[in-house]
Amino acid sequence: MGMQLVFIGTIALCLVVSSAMLEQFEQAPKQDGSLSFLVVDKLVATDTAEKPQTVIAEEEQPMNIVLFLAIQSGHCIDDPAFDDSFTKIYTASSLQKQWYSVLGNHDYRGNVEARLSPVLTNLDKRWLCLRSFTVNAEVAEFYFVDTTPFVDKYFTEPKDMSIYDWSGILPRKQYISNLLKDVDLALQQSNAKWKIVVGHHTIRSAGLHGNTDELVKQLLPILEANNIDLYINGQDHCLQHIGSLGSAIQFLASGGGSKAWRGVVNWWKPEEMKFYYDGQGFMSVKITETEIDIVFYDVYGHVLHKWNAS
């Protein structure tokens, strides 16, 4: 299940010219200035997929937006999979919010440009997916980063080389260099109280995939230097929360949308490992000017873990 951000309330979505190269969108917070969102990973094509999220969004914590951490192979122009696993599934009024989506590694298999096509937004106005972009929600700013091109094995392992579509990425080194500069500049220029970076791949993880070394070496130093608050990812099919002794960054994984119960846990330092759940579920976040509240839920909507910072 790819990660998604849901906002409930008046949506003011407009493209503005960012001083960096990253496209920037404006997202209105609630009337009280707060912001609430769901984070989900990979679309699940069942008629019960959105029920727990709907309850949370309607009753416990009305949302503004939804963050989606990976799309899923098959979501492309004129493909019925988009309707069957998105439009026809997330039908509740509480989920008729803006969905911000980031590409995962499986989305680069096949026609990646189709995943990015504005045709999908024409099919469902909630949908927005770009390679990398920022969202200014006043109390918080989000930085969506295209993490797949960082991973060396997708370019070097024979089983992977022939199935990935690198349109718009090559030359790879220049693409990554420009992206890192754009993210660094956008973070430096931000005046937001809370800074949240979103990517499909892990930076820190106790799950099956573990750390993504390329992101640890290239992206993490920029995030630490700019004092971001949260890094949110999918990829590992689990829910987890890892702190950091060296910085204030919280590493949050909401990858439990499908194919969970892997049975793999690489136990982390106990002083940093705050929560790990090898199962399906999702995450909600509420942000105000003074604090941030994070809650992890299982697939039935039962609370598994809470965390607060101010």
Domain boundaries along the sequence of the chain: 4-309
Residue labelled with tokens 């937006």? 65
What is the biggest distance separating any 2 CA atoms in the chain, rounded to whole angstroms?
53
pLDDT-derived band of residue 20, with 50, 70 and 90 as boundaries? very low
Q: What is the pLDDT of residue 74?
A: 42
Q: Residue 292 is inside which H or E element, if any?
A: strand 292-298
Q: What is the pLDDT of residue 261?
A: 67
Q: Residue 273 is inside which H or E element, if any?
A: strand 273-277
Average pLDDT over residues 269-288: 92
Convert the pLDDT of each residue in 176-222 to its tens digit: 999 999 999 999 999 999 999 999 999 999 988 889 999 999 999 99
Residue 302 among known ligand-binding residues? no
State the burial class of residue 195 (Cβ atoms within 10 Å of its Cβ: 0-12, 13-18, 19+): buried
Q: What is the pLDDT of residue 80?
A: 72
Task: Copy the structure tokens of residue 106.
Answer: 């499986």
Secondary structure (3-state) at 40: strand
Q: How far is CA 39 from CA 101, 251, 254, 293, in A?
A: 10, 13, 6, 13
CATH number of 4-309: 3.60.21.10
CA dihedral 101, 106, 108, 114 (to 10 degrees): -60
Closest CA to 40 of 290, 265, 234, 304: 234
Residue labelled with tokens 């469902």? 124
Burial 265-293 (b: 16+ CB within 10 A, else e): eeebeeeebbbbbbebbbbbbbbbeeebb
**Active site residues per annotation:** 209
Least trusted range by pLDDT, from 57-66, 140-149, 155-164, 244-253: 57-66
Q: What is the pLDDT of residue 308?
A: 97
Residue labelled with tokens 């002083």? 271
Q: What is the pLDDT of residue 4?
A: 43
DSSP class of 60: I
Residue 105 among known ligand-binding residues? yes
Residue 305 among known ligand-binding residues? no
Q: What is the pLDDT of residue 220?
A: 98
Long-range pairs for 288-296 at CB < 8 Å and ≥24 separation?
Answer: 288/32, 288/33, 288/34, 288/35, 288/139, 289/33, 289/139, 289/193, 292/194, 292/229, 292/230, 294/241, 294/250, 294/252, 295/61, 296/239, 296/241, 296/254
Least trusted range by pLDDT, from 27-31, 74-78, 213-217, 298-302: 74-78
pLDDT-derived band of residue 26, with 50, 70 and 90 as boundaries? very high
User: What's the whole-number average pLDDT of the chain?
Assistant: 83
Q: How far is CA 137 from CA 22, 61, 287, in A?
A: 16, 17, 10
Q: What is the pLDDT of residue 142?
A: 98
Residue 44 has pLDDT above 60, yes or no: no
Q: What is the pLDDT of residue 263?
A: 72
Q: What is the pLDDT of residue 71?
A: 53
Q: What is the pLDDT of residue 195?
A: 98
Number of other CB atoms surrounding residue 232 within 10 Å: 27
Secondary structure (3-state) at 104: coil
Convert the pLDDT of each residue in 138-173 to its tens digit: 999 999 999 999 999 999 987 777 789 999 999 999
Q: What is the pLDDT of residue 248?
A: 95
Q: What is the pLDDT of residue 292?
A: 97
Secondary structure (3-state) at 303: strand
Residue 77 has pLDDT above 60, yes or no: no
Q: What is the pLDDT of residue 143?
A: 98
Q: What is the pLDDT of residue 82?
A: 79
What is d(CA 188, CA 167) in angstroms, rounded to the nearest whole number? 29
pLDDT-derived band of residue 1, with 50, 70 and 90 as boundaries? very low
Residue that wins the pLDDT comparison between 58 and 85: 85
DSSP class of 109: B
CA dihedral 102, 209, 259, 80 (to 10 degrees): 30
Phi-psi region of 279 (alpha: psi -120 to 50; beta: other; left: phi over 0): beta
Residue 253 has pLDDT above 80, yes or no: yes
Residue 52 has pLDDT above 60, yes or no: no
DSSP code per residue over 207-252: SSS---HHHHHHTHHHHHHTT-SEEEE-SSSSEEEE--SSSS-EEE
Residue 53 has pLDDT above 70, yes or no: no
Q: What is the pLDDT of residue 141?
A: 98
